[in-house]
């Protein structure tokens, strides 16, 4: 069995001068052991040698934990594998001769900076609106001073697994950011340290999200299906509860 494959890439190219369109590239002799980003590296090296502009894409850790990478590959956020970031998507999941379309996350709240790179600072703005726990300065509290049942810790951790990549927004038919916001709100509100500000936080983050031009959630659950960390839409239900508490009580 051959260890390499050849692909045809249809890549979205966009910059200040170019309002955007697909360009076709050949990715030749791609090792099946490569990650999707390494495959793009190979293509980019060839482009550079040919004196052309390499494809701009975001990445950092390349081990699925930072949330920087991400594109819509063949119509799926982070590609077709479940619970995988683009940097962890391996070329062995593609076949020789495949045509692969690569597009940036598309949402009004995520304007394209260049090619596949989008501006996700709107997610940071939501965090700034309330995605934190207010603590007094001073000595760090003793570890385990506040007992937290394992079950609670696990629940909070499931939500905290969100890496903020924006795949939920990209995958949502409505470009809604509710899975992201739900995860952030849940992860803090489940723990006793985050409890006191839970309602206020939910109100602040949700109203911020609304102002930034994200769509509305219609419970399509596409976000959950595409989330590389498998965050559940139940975090959205929890966010709704916190929001109602803030609004009505």
Partner 1 sequence: MNWFIETISSSIGKKLLMAITGASFILFLMIHLIGNLTLYFGKAVFLSYVAHLHALGPLIVAVEIMLLILACIHVTTGTFLFFQNLYARPRRYAVKRWAGGRTIGSATMPYSGFIILAFIVLHLSNFHFVDLSERTIFDVISTHFSSMLYVFIYTCAVVVVAFHVSHGFWSLFQSLGANNNKYMPLLRVLGLIFAVSVAIGFGFIPSYVRFMI
Question: Which residues of the chain form contacts with ligand FES (CB under 6 A)?
Answer: 59-62, 64-69, 85-87
CA separation for the pair 56, 60 (Å, rounded): 13
- Which residues does 103 contact at the CB level (< 8 Å), separation at least 6? 12, 71, 72, 116
Phi, psi of 9, deg, nearest 5: -105, 135
Q: How far is the CB of 242 from partner 1 (least distance, A)?
A: 8
Q: How far is the CB of 233 from partner 1 (least distance, A)?
A: 7
Q: Determine the distance from the C-alpha atom of residue 75 to the mean position of all C-alpha atoms in its chain, rounded to a whole number.
A: 15
Give the footprint of partner 1 on residues 125-184 (CB under 8 A): 171, 173-176, 178
Q: Does 225 bind partner 1 (CB under 8 A)?
A: yes
CA separation for the pair 37, 32 (Å, rounded): 12
- Nearest residue to 203 (alpha-carbon basis) of 189, 192, 216: 189
Give the footprint of partner 1 on residues 189-208 (CB under 8 A): 206-207
Q: How far is the CB of 154 from ligand FES (least distance, A)?
A: 22
Lookup: tokens for 169: 């927004």
Nearer to ligand FES, 62 or 245 (CB): 62
Nearer to ligand FES, 58 or 235 (CB): 58
Nearer to partner 1, 29 or 216 (CB): 216
């Amino acid at each position: 069995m051959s260890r390499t494959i050849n692909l045809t890439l249809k890549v979205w190219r966009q910059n200040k001068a170019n309002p955007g369109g697909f360009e076709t590239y050949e990715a030749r002799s791609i090792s099946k052991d490569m990650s999707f980003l390494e495959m793009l590296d190979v293509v980019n090296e060839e482009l550079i040698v040919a004196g052309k502009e390499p494809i701009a894409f975001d990445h950092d850790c390349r081990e699925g934990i930072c949330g920087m990478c991400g594109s819509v590959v063949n119509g799926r956020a982070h590609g077709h594998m479940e619970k995988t970031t683009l940097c962890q998507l391996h070329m062995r999941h593609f076949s020789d001769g495949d045509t692969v379309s690569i597009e940036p996350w598309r949402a009004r709240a995520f304007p394209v900076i260049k090619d596949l790179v989008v501006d996700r600072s709107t997610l940071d703005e939501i965090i700034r609106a309330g995605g934190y726990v207010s603590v007094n300065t001073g000595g760090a509290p003793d570890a385990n001073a506040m007992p937290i049942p394992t079950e609670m810790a696990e629940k909070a951790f499931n939500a905290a697994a969100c890496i903020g990549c924006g795949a939920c927004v990209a995958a949502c038919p409505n470009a809604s950011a509710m899975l992201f916001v739900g995860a952030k709100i849940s992860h803090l509100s489940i723990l006793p340290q985050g409890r006191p500000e839970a309602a206020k936080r939910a109100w602040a983050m949700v109203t911020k999200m609304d102002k930034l031009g994200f769509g509305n959630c219609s419970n399509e659950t596409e976000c959950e299906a595409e989330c590389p960390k498998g965050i559940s839409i139940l975090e959205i239900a929890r966010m709704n509860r916190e929001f109602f508490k803030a609004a009505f009580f």
